[in-house]
Chains A and B, each alone.
Chain A
Amino acid sequence: MLIIRDLRKHYGSQLALDGVSLEIRRGEFFGLLGPNGAGKSTLMSLVAGLRQPDAGSLALDGVAVTPADPATRAALGLVPQSIALFEDLSAEQNLRVFGELHGLRGALLRERIDEALAAVQLADRRRDQVKKFSGGMQRRLNLVASLLHRPKLLLCDEPTVGVDPQSRNAIFDFLEARNREGPTVIYSTHYMEEATRLCSRIGIIDHGKIHALGTLDELLTRLPFADEMTFPATPATAAFAARVAAHGELATADGGHRFHPHAGFRTSAFYALAEECQLPARLFVAGRPSLEALFLHLTGRTLRE
Chain B
Amino acid sequence: MRIILTLVRKDIATFLRNRPAVVITFLVPVALIYIFGFVFGLNARDSGPAGIRLGVVNASDSPAAQQLVDALKAEKTFRVVTADPTVTPGRPLTEADARRLIHDRKFNFALVIPSDFIPARGVGLRLRILSDPRNEIETQTVNGLLQKTIFSHVPQLLGQALQAGARRYLGDVRTDQFNSEIAAAVTGAFGGDREKTRRSLEAGGFGALPGESAAPAAPPAPDLFSRLVQIETVQVAGRDVKSPAATRVVGGWAMMFLLFAVSGGSAAFFDEKNAGLFQRLLSAPVRRSQLLWSRFIYGILLGLVQLTTLFAAGRLLYGIDVFGHFGNLVVVCTAAAAACSAFGMLIAAFAPNAQAANGLATFLVLTMSATGGAWFPISLMPEFMQHVAKFTLVYWSMEGFSQVLWAGSSLGELLPTVGILLAIAAGVMAAAVWRFNRGAVFD
In the complex, how many angstroms separate the beta carbon of B400 from the nearest chain A beta carbon?
A: 33
Q: Counting CB contacts under 8 A, is B217 at the interface?
A: no
The answer, among B274, B275, B279, B281, for a CB contact under 8 Å with A101, is B281
Known contacts A98-B280, A146-B280, A68 near B275 by CB under 8 Å? no
A77 to B274, CA, bound (A): 20
Within 8 A of A (CB), among B267-287: 274-277, 279-287
For A71, the closest partner residue in chain B by CB is: B285
Contacting pair B284 A73 (CB below 8 A): yes
Contacts of A73 in B (CB 8 A): 283-286
Do B279 and A50 touch (CB < 8 A)? Answer: yes
A83 within 8 A of B: yes
Interface centre among B274, B285, B287, B442 (most CB of A within 10 A): B285
Smallest CB gap from A74: residue in B? B285
Decide: A145 near B280, CB < 8 A? Known: A51-B443, A82-B275, A84-B275: yes
Q: Is A297 an interface residue (CB 8 A)?
A: no
**A68-B287, A80-B276, A81-B276 known; A50-B282 Cβ under 8 A:** yes
Given A84-B276, A84-B277, also A78-B283 (CB < 8 A):
yes
Contact of A70 among B279, B285, B442 (CB under 8 A): B285
**Which partner residue on chain A sits nearest B290 by CB separation?**
A101
Shortest distance in angstroms between A198's beta carbon and chain B's nearest beta carbon?
21
Encode contact with A along B279-322: 1 for CB under 8 Å, 0 otherwise. Answer: 11111111100000000000000000000000000000000000
A45 at the interface (CB under 8 A from B): yes
> A74 CA to B284 CA in the complex, in Å?
7
Query: Is residue A48 within 8 Å, beta carbon to beta carbon, of the partner chain?
Result: yes
Chain A residues, Cβ within 8 Å of B443: 51
Q: Is A82's CB under 8 angstroms from B276's CB?
A: yes
Complex Cα spacing A82 to B278, Å: 11
Task: Using CB atoms, name the residue of chain A closest to B288.
Answer: A67
Interface centre among A85, A145, A155 (most CB of B within 10 A): A85
Interchain CB contact under 8 A, B284 and A84 = no
Specify which of A68, A81, A86 is in contact with B277 (CB 8 Å cutoff): A86
Is A103 an interface residue, CB under 8 A from the partner? Answer: yes
- Contacting pair B285 A102 (CB below 8 A): yes
- Give the shortest distance, in Å, between A116 (CB) and chain B (any CB): 15
Question: In the assembly, what is the distance between CA of A76 and CA of B286, in Å?
Answer: 12
Is B276 touching A98 in the complex (CB atoms < 8 A)? no
Which residues of chain A are within 8 angstroms of B274 by Cβ–Cβ distance?
82
Complex Cα–Cα for A67 and B443 (A) = 13
B287 touches A80 (CB 8 A): no
A83 pairs with B276, CB closer than 8 A: yes
Count of chain B residues with a beta carbon within 8 Å of a chain A beta carbon: 15
B276/A45 in contact, CB under 8 A: no
Q: Is the interface of A mostly helix, strand, loop or mixed?
A: loop
Chain A residues contacting B282 (CB-CB under 8 Å) are 49-50, 67
Which A residue's beta carbon lies closest to that of B277? A84
Sorting the interface of chain A by its residue count into under 10, 10 to 19, 20 to 34 or 35 or more gives: 20 to 34
Pick the residue among B280, B285, B442 that contacts A84 (CB under 8 A): B280
Q: In whole angstroms, how far apart are the Cα atoms of A83 and B285 in the complex?
A: 20
CB-CB under 8 A from B279, the residues of chain A are 45, 48, 50, 78, 80, 82, 84
CB atoms of B275 and A83 under 8 A apart:
yes
The answer to whether B284 touches A102 (Cβ under 8 A) is yes
Q: Min CB distance, A161 to chain B, in Å?
A: 11
Min CB distance B300 to A, Å, is 20
Residues of B within 8 A of A85 (CB): 275, 277
Residues of B within 8 A of A103 (CB): 285
Residues of A within 8 A of B442 (CB): 50
Q: Chain A residues near B285 (CB, 8 Å)?
A: 70, 73-74, 101-103
Chain B residues closer than 8 Å to A48, beta-carbon distance: 279, 283
Residue ID in chain A nearest B282 by CB atoms: A50
Q: Which residues of B contact A50 (CB under 8 A)?
A: 279, 282-283, 442
Annotate B51-92 by CB proximity to A: 1 below 8 A, 0 otherwise. 000000000000000000000000000000000000000000
Instruction: List, in ascending order, chain A residues with CB within 8 A of B283's CB.
Output: 48-50, 73, 76-78, 155
| A98 vs B277: C-alpha distance when bound (angstroms) | 11
Query: Within 8 Å CB of B275, what residues of A?
Result: 82-85, 87
With a CB–CB cut-off of 8 A, which chain B residues contact A98? 280, 284
Interface residues of A in 130-180 (CB under 8 A from B): 145-146, 155
Q: How far is the CB of B354 from chain A (nearest CB, A)?
A: 15
Shortest Cβ gap from B274 to chain A (Å):
8
Inter-chain contacts of B281 with A (CB < 8 A): 101
- 20 A-B pairs with CB atoms under 8 Å apart are A48-B279, A48-B283, A49-B282, A49-B283, A50-B279, A51-B443, A73-B284, A73-B285, A76-B283, A77-B283, A78-B280, A78-B283, A82-B274, A82-B276, A84-B276, A85-B275, A86-B277, A87-B275, A101-B284, A101-B285
Kindly list 13 other residue pairs between chains A and B, CB separation below 8 angstroms, not including A51-B443, A74-B285, A86-B277: A50-B283, A70-B285, A73-B283, A78-B280, A80-B280, A82-B275, A82-B279, A83-B275, A84-B277, A85-B275, A101-B281, A101-B286, A103-B285
A residues near B (Cβ < 8 Å) are 45, 48-51, 67-68, 70, 73-74, 76-78, 80-87, 98, 101-103, 145-146, 155
Using a CB–CB distance below 8 Å, which chain B residues touch chain A? 274-277, 279-287, 442-443
